[in-house]
Structures are given as structure tokens and as C-alpha cells.
Amino acid sequence: MRIDAARLAQSIEELGRIGATPRGGLTRLALTDDDRRGRDLMVRWMREAGLRVTIDQMGNIFGERAGTERVPPVMMGSHIDSVPTGGKYDGQLGVLCALETVRALNDHSVRTRHPVTVAIFTNEEGARFQPAMLASGVMAGKIALEDAYNARDKDGLRLVDELERIGYLGAEPCVPRPFRAYLELHIEQGPVLEEAGLQVGVVDGIVAIAWSRLTIRGVQDHAGPTPMRIRHDALVAAAEVVGGVRAIARELGGDLVTTVGNLTVQPNIPNAIPGTVTLSIDMRDPRTETLDAARARLDALVRAACEREGVRGELDHYWRVPYTPFAPDVVAAVERAAVASGARHRHILSGAGHDAQYMAAIGPAGMIFVPSRGGRSHCEEEFTAMDDIAHGATTLFLAAVDLAERV
């Protein structure tokens, strides 16, 4: 039993045309007109495949293929929203491989004990409405529906109004629903599989993530008359922190990655000594204990840098998710399916957050990775070879049949 790779390639092509950019990428932000067109196409395809489609209060779309018994479904899914000038693979590949799994089940007239459901989650990217993974977060009970509804884009438009405008404000309650397993196929977004010449990653879990915000207050003054010896320059201290954050990863080693991605300088003009600087620190590691060690080093680094420059630093560790392990029986099913599909594969961790992270909080979840060329994603150059996609899709299909119990 195999999936139909040509049909899958055709669907990737067709859905990828909605919001396509001139350089082969995709701009399809959540709840825009293009998102609506993408959703409409998916719903049509889901109905054509015989699925019973329902929409919940967050605009999440579910398409169910009945099982022989009324037991919780095996759910497969991802998202179809993209970042601005993103790629055609992030998110939509997982949704289309899930749909292809259903089509292949139909081709082979496979009956399963558990229902099989295709799920499309709203606003995964967090590009238009923050935070990311908003709708799976509501479903998992981690984000209040009210807060999600009141999220606003940069033009002040509310999420709930945009949901209604595009016709995807559904009636089904967005609450934890039981499932036998949740499976998400996704591009790796890193270089590991490609560098090893592999086609499929059996994902064991999602790394722990810690976000901190640092505000440094120095003394704003004139860049000319103020002698160097009496300066308290917030940006000089910040620069030391930026270099030091990189050094934390180098010193602790292993898989730890650390990033300062956002920096604001006030007043940010050529002829004033910067008075206030804020910066973000993102640290990730498979082991929560390593993140604790990294945080202690960050505290010491900020103290030392601020002391040297005679400025005040306020460090706020405001967001943290522990390591999310996937369910051993689901990971094992993915492993068996990867072997059966003939894919060259290995076990791997996800360095990025996914809807599967929230789903893992309410039921047994697992993921399948396929390679990203050059490790690149969230850009128009994002690419995965069709042969790798076919192996990943076959792995998803076989894992779904396994978990849903063929009868």
C-alpha cells in the first residue's frame, strides 16, 4: 500500500498557487482573503474525499473519515497560513500529506477501527496575530478563547472579526477533544536530515524554549561634549550582552542555541549617547537543566556588563516551555512506518514550536520530519524534494493505518 506521489505533487502545486509570490514562495497570512481561498480549496478536497467537515470557534477545520467503531480518531494535521514571503512547504505539506493519507485509504478501501481526521489549525505562524500556535493553544486550554479573539493585527483588526469576515467562525466548541493519536508531518527547517542524506526524521520531542527580555537604562547625553570617562552608555552594555549570549552557547556546548533577535535603542539618533536599550534573548535546548544553567550564566553576564558600564539592567524571564516529549507509542509507530516505507531515517528533535506541541499536552502526539534544502525555511527558497516528500507521506500513511488499526 502506497500513497499517490503524483497526485500529492499536483495538490502541493495547486494549493501553492494561492498566495504565490513571483520568486516561488508564498504569502498567505492567517485569515486574509488568500487564507480563505486556501481553506475553501482544502474543504472542497476534504468533502470530495468523503470527509465530514466541521469548523470550530477558532476556525480550526476538521474532516473526519468514520471508523468501524465510535472511538477517538487518529488526527493528522498542521496549518496552511504562512509568514510573509515564506515557502510552499511549511505547514501546508503536513495538511496535504494528511489529505493524501485519506485519499490513499479510499484508494485501497482500507477500513480502520478508529476514525481518521484531517486537522487544519488557524494562525500557527503568529505572523499576523500573536502568539504563534494560537488556535491549537486554545484547543489545548493553554490560551483563553477570549484572549485569542481579541488578538489584533498591526492594523488593529481583531482576530474574531476576521474569522467572521472570511466565513470561518465555526460553532463547534474549541476545547480539548479526545484522540487516539495526533500526527504532524512537517519540514525539518534545519540542516540535520539533508547533511546526513536522510529522507525522514522520527521526531522524539520539541526542545525546551526560554525567552527573556532585558531593559538597560543608562544616561542619555550629547555625543559631543560628554567626555568618554563619564558616560553610561546603555548600548555599550547591550553590545557586551549580545556577544556574551553567543558565548553562553559556545561554553555550554551540546545542542544549546542562543539568539538576540530584537534590539531597540533610544533615542536611536547619531548624536546622542543611547539612554535606554531593550533586547530579546531566545535560548533553546533539549534539556531543561541546560536551559537553567544558561539562564544562570545570562544573569551573571547581564550583572557584569551593566556594572562595567555603570548602567541598570532589568532582566525579565517571561516565557518558558519545558521539553515536550512525544508519546512513546506514537513515536514507535512512526519508526515502524519509516522502516516499512523504505525511507532512510533517524531520530531527531524539533528546534521549532509546532501545533503538535500543544496537542501533546492533551493526548498522544508525534511528528514526522522531511528535509529542508540548505536547512532553510520561512523564505521563498524553502524546498523539499518530491522523493523525500513521498517517503514522508508514506510514513505518515502507514503510521496512521497502524494507529487507527486496520480491520
Task: Give me the residues that bind Zn ion (CB under 5 A), please.
Answer: 90-91
Q: Which of 297, 97, 276 is nearest to 200 (CA)?
A: 97
User: Is residue 139 within a helix (H) or strand (E), and if so which, with residue range?
Assistant: helix 134-139
Q: Which is nearer to Zn ion, 91 or 274 (CB)?
A: 91
Q: Which is nearer to Zn ion, 86 or 170 (CB)?
A: 86
Provide the minimum distance between the beta carbon of 267 and Zn ion in the complex, in angstroms, as a whole number: 38
Q: Which is nearer to Zn ion, 188 or 204 (CB)?
A: 188
Cα separation of 36 and 150, whole Å?
Answer: 20
Provide the minimum distance between the beta carbon of 41 and Zn ion in the complex, in angstroms, as a whole number: 19
Provide the minimum distance between the beta carbon of 122 and Zn ion in the complex, in angstroms, as a whole number: 13
Provide the minimum distance between the beta carbon of 91 and Zn ion in the complex, in angstroms, as a whole number: 4
Q: Which is nearer to Zn ion, 73 or 91 (CB)?
A: 91
Question: In 3-state terms, what secondary structure has residue 262?
Answer: coil
Do 194 and 291 contact (CB within 8 A), yes or no? no
Nearest residue to Zn ion by CB is 91
Provide the minimum distance between the beta carbon of 26 and Zn ion in the complex, in angstroms, as a whole number: 12
Q: Which is nearer to Zn ion, 91 or 170 (CB)?
A: 91
Question: In 3-state terms, what secondary structure has residue 154?
Answer: coil
Question: In 3-state terms, what secondary structure has residue 378?
Answer: coil
Cα separation of 30 and 61, whole Å?
Answer: 13
Question: In 3-state terms, what secondary structure has residue 43?
Answer: helix
Q: Which is nearer to Zn ion, 138 or 315 (CB)?
A: 138
Cα separation of 31 and 123, whole Å?
Answer: 8
Between strands 208-217 and 312-321, the pairing is antiparallel
Do 343 and 391 contact (CB within 8 A), yes or no? yes
User: Is residue 284 within a helix (H) or strand (E), and if so which, with residue range?
Assistant: strand 276-285
Provide the minimum distance between the beta carbon of 46 and Zn ion in the complex, in angstroms, as a whole number: 20
Provide the minimum distance between the beta carbon of 353 and Zn ion in the complex, in angstroms, as a whole number: 9
Q: Which is nearer to Zn ion, 72 or 351 (CB)?
A: 351
Max Cα distance, the chain (Å): 83
Q: Which cell goes with 315?
A: 532582566
Q: Which is nearer to Zn ion, 184 or 402 (CB)?
A: 184
Provide the minimum distance between the beta carbon of 81 and Zn ion in the complex, in angstroms, as a whole number: 9
Do 348 and 72 contact (CB within 8 A), yes or no? no
What stretches of 32-98 adopt beta strand conformation (E)? 52-55, 61-65, 74-79
